[in-house]
Amino acid sequence: MAKYAKRIGFLKKRDDLTNEQFLDHWRNTHAVLCQRIPGLKRYAINYINRSANPEVPYDGFSELWFESKEAHDAAFSSPEGVELLADIPNFVSALNGVIVLEERFIWPVEDGLGK
C-alpha cells in the first residue's frame, strides 16, 4: 500500500473577491506556481459551493502529495515554495493547513501513483 505525506489546505477567499475572481486566481496563477515546486507528486484543488453548503466555513481545499514529510518541507523551503506561499494573500483571507499521512486502499493505477 502506497503512503504519501499530503498537505491539505482549507482556504477562505478574500471578501473583496467574487467567487469567479477567487477561482480564476487559484486556477490560473496559484496552481501554476504550485506545479513548479520541487518534489510535488500530485496536486488537486477542490472548490466548495458555499451556496449549496452554507455551513462549511471554507471556499475550497487543496491537496498536495509528497513522498515524505521531509520532501514537503524541502519543497516549501525552496525559492519556488517561498514564491507560492507569498501568493496566498493575493486571493485568500484565511488558510488552515494540515499534513496528513495518506493510506490508499482504492486508487487508479494509470495515474502513476496507484498501488
Find the CATH number of the domain harbouring 47. Answer: 3.30.70.100
Q: Which domain holds residue 32?
A: 3-106
Residue 61 lies in a domain: yes
pLDDT classification of 4: cutoffs 50, 70, 90: confident
For the chain, percent of residues with pLDDT exceeding 70: 93
Question: In the predicted model, is pLDDT for residue 115 greater than 60?
Answer: no
Residue 79 lies in a domain: yes
Question: In the predicted model, is pLDDT for residue 55 greater than 90?
Answer: yes
Do residues 103 and 86 touch, judged by C-beta distance below 8 A? no
pLDDT score recorded for residue 106: 82
Residue 115 lies in a domain: no
Residue 111 lies in a domain: no
In this predicted model, what pLDDT tens digit does every residue of 9-37 receive, in sequence order?
A: 999 999 999 999 999 999 999 999 999 99
Residue 89 lies in a domain: yes
User: What residue ranges in 1-115 does DSSP mark as E strands?
Assistant: 3-13, 42-47, 60-66, 92-103
d(CA 65, CA 99): 10
Report how many domains make up the chain. 1
pTM score, two decimals?
Answer: 0.86
Question: In the predicted model, is pLDDT for residue 113 greater than 60?
Answer: no
Residue 15 lies in a domain: yes
Residue 113 lies in a domain: no
Strands 60-66 and 92-103: unpaired
